[in-house]
């Protein structure tokens, strides 16, 4: 009922990063694709199988370095139910390897429908007397546009099962400001207002490090806002996308962390999954290349923060 | 590349309503559940199979009365990939029966990730040379908090494949105002600002009735806002949840329609799926009861609007 489990892992591994598993089929090396696509045909099913093998090999190589993975639901949904099966298997495999799993789904709805999403991704689905985990992730990204009705059902599951959520506050994309940076009549921006709601929603779920179960997504591409929000939201853990491929540098991340080097976890997806392409190494070494990249990323970020 | 296909159907059937297929397992009659749950066990798979039979029977009974269905993704996701298979089959079955399908997923993300969602739900996924439809719905609900970067990939698919989107503007839940009703420094509310963005995003996709491919979700529970937004957003088709079970009455919907009785489609979910419970008829007549309810709903709403 806080982010203590995640923060414990970050401290233990001295690594405040998470690997985004957003596996486009073009990222998967040919030798893996050939396993399924040549024999089974170029189908959604074959693609989904190849992607699972790809994820599994990366998890094998990074789980002792990186505390968490963040699978992006869209890249599984695009293969229909076959892709969703791969998402389930990926989450299970990462958890078996001791990793913290945050599903990037940006889900949002109200009341009973949000309860269904909460049960699906973080809790369990009741079928008769049985309580069955559909996905069983540790955290979920969500969109707060609908207000408290969309957040309460999540908080219930977070309390019961020691899970967490990350609410979109200031996203990393170029047009994030169109709505998020607009000034309210009370002087705040919309993203500040959303951030303030995160503090309120998380109020009674704070853990031993001071951070609640309600985190915020704040993009690395806006370093001043990251710094300003760290001050403004002292109990809100940040999930920070936009490092690396999207253009955010390590030094700019500094402001997202507190004086103990906590309070933020930085995501990298493509740079890890495609490290073998950038290195130009043999594609059969893709997972080793991913390992080298997560070590490089950890060291790059840790030089600017005070994580003991 | 507009909502013409949907509006054509609404005019042809003289019925501006859509049935939400949000099938909680408790809505499914015992005799259907017994088919799978008793023999296969109380599993996610058995539940998902029962739900498909339930949906199929309802579609059989309503497809000649109602132009569209709106499956809510959350109620399928909660059964993991088995549920997603049921969602796929439900969409396919409704389309085979000539219905317009709007998936209620409230999806949102940026760039390549939003492209993945667009391809998954409205377009097709590329696997080698193949273009494979994962879900193949006609429209998708989306959340615009991330700005234009999250909408552009959808517009591309809408243009290429004659699909549409509904952006959350003013939702039907009690706490929708927390963020959506806040006043901006320029005097508009956030929901008005989001509505204005819908007009802009849809600008070059207007069809023969004047409505673009970018619709808006506006709740029936706020009739004055519905009326005000109809005036403000003359090219934006409204998807209106909140009629019936959530408390919105038919007379209050009037303001959401234009002078020709067009421009809005009203959703009802629980009242249709659970009509047999309310009627107290034999559970084996659940689909016939659903048919009676959709006729009642159509007539209830049409008395207030000018749909020729």
A58-94, pLDDT tens digit by residue? 999 999 999 999 999 999 999 999 999 999 999 999 9
Q: What is the pLDDT of residues B8-65, one digit of tens each?
A: 999 999 999 999 999 999 999 999 999 998 888 999 999 999 999 999 999 999 999 9
A187, with CB counted inside 10 A (0-12, 13-18, 19+), is exposed
How many whole angstroms from its chain centre is CA A56?
17
The answer on pLDDT for A159 being more than 80 is: yes
CA distance B75 to chain A (A): 6
User: How far from A142 is each of A139, A177, B29, B265, B300, CA to CA, in Å?
Assistant: 10, 18, 33, 27, 36
Q: Could you tell me whether strands B125-127 and B130-132 are parallel, antiparallel, or unpaired per DSSP bridges?
A: antiparallel
User: How far from A99 is each of A67, A91, A157, CA to CA, in Å?
Assistant: 6, 9, 20
Q: What is the rounded average pLDDT for all residues in chain B?
A: 96
- Residues of B within 8 A of A193 (CB-CB) are 179, 182
Q: What's the pLDDT score for residue A214?
A: 98
Confidence class for position B267, pLDDT limits 50, 70, 90:
very high
CA distance B157 to chain A (A): 14
Predicted complex: ipTM over 0.95:
yes
Contact A132 B43 (CB under 8 A): yes
Confidence class for position B1, pLDDT limits 50, 70, 90:
low
Q: What is the pLDDT of residues B104-127, one digit of tens each?
A: 999 999 999 999 999 999 999 999
* CA dist., res. A96 & res. A51, Å (int): 18
| Least confident stretch, A40-54, A74-88, A234-248, A262-276 | A234-248
Q: What's the pLDDT score for residue A280?
A: 96
Q: Looking at domain B4-302, what is its CATH homologous superfamily?
A: Aldolase class I (3.20.20.70)
Contact B114 A197 (CB under 8 A): no
* CA dist., res. B292 & res. B273, Å (int): 11
How many whole angstroms from its chain centre is CA B84?
17
- Residue-range domain boundaries for chain B: 4-302
The answer on pLDDT for B247 being more than 80 is: no
**Percent of chain B scored above 70 by pLDDT?**
98
The more confident residue out of A242 and B136 is B136
- Residues of A within 8 A of B143 (CB-CB) are 106, 108, 143, 145
- Can you give the three-state secondary structure of chain B, one letter per residue? CCCHHHHHHHHHHCCCEEEEECCCHHHCCHHHHHHHHHHHCCCHHHHHHHHHHHHHHHHHHHCCCCCEEEEECHHHHCCHHHHHHHHHHHHHHHHHCCCEEEEEEEECCCHHHHHHHHHHHCCCEEECCEEECCCCCCEEEECCCCCHHHCHHHHHHHHHHCCEEEEEEECCCHHHHHHHCCEECCCCEHHHHHHHHHHHHHHHHCCCCCCCCEEEEECCCCHHHHHHHHHHCCCCCEEECCEHHHCECCHHHHHHCCCCCCCEEEEECHHHHCHHHHHCCCHHHHHHHHHHHHHHHHHHHHCCCCCC
The answer on pLDDT for A236 being more than 80 is: yes
* CA dist., res. A221 & res. A247, Å (int): 7
The answer on pLDDT for A248 being more than 80 is: no
The answer on pLDDT for A190 being more than 80 is: yes
Q: What's the pLDDT score for residue B244?
A: 77
Please calculate the CA angle A273-A279-A285 and round it to the nearest 5 degrees. 65
Segment A28-37 shows an average pLDDT of: 95
The answer on pLDDT for A153 being more than 90 is: yes
Q: What does the block give as tokens for A294?
A: 């997560």
Q: What's the pLDDT score for residue A246?
A: 67
Tell me which residue in A108, A125, A180 faces B44 most closely, judged by beta carbons: A125
């Amino acid at each position: 009922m806080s982010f203590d489990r995640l923060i414990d892992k970050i401290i233990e591994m001295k690594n405040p990063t998470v690997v985004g598993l957003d596996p486009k089929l073009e990222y998967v090396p040919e030798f893996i694709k050939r396993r399924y696509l040549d024999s089974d045909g170029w189908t959604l099913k074959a693609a989904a199988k190849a992607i699972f093998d790809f994820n599994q090999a990366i998890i094998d190589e990074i789980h002792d370095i990186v505390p968490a993975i963040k699978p992006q639901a869209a890249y599984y949904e695009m293969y229909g139910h076959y892709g969703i099966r791969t998402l389930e298997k990926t989450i299970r495999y990462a958890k078996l390897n001791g990793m913290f799993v945050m599903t990037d789904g940006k889900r949002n709805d109200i009341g009973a429908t949000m309860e269904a999403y909460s049960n699906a991704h973080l809790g369990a689905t009741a079928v008769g007397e049985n309580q069955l985990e559909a996905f069983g992730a540790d955290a979920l990204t969500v969109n707060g546009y609908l207000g408290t009705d969309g957040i309460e059902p999540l908080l219930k599951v977070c309390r019961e099962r020691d899970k967490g959520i990350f609410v979109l506050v200031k996203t990393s994309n170029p047009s994030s400001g169109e709505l998020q940076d607009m000034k309210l009549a009370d002087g705040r921006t919309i993203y500040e207002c959303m951030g303030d709601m995160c503090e309120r929603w998380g109020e009674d779920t704070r853990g031993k490090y001071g951070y609640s179960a309600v985190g915020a997504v704040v993009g690395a591409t806006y370093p001043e806002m990251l710094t300003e929000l760290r001050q403004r939201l002292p109990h809100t853990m940040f999930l920070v996308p936009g490092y690396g491929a999207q253009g955010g540098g390590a030094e700019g991340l500094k402001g997202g962390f507190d004086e103990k080097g906590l309070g933020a976890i930085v995501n990298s997806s493509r740079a890890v999954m495609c490290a073998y392409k950038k290195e130009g190494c043999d594609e059969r070494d893709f997972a080793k290349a991913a390992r080298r990249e997560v070590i490089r990323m950890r060291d790059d970020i840790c030089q600017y923060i005070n994580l003991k």
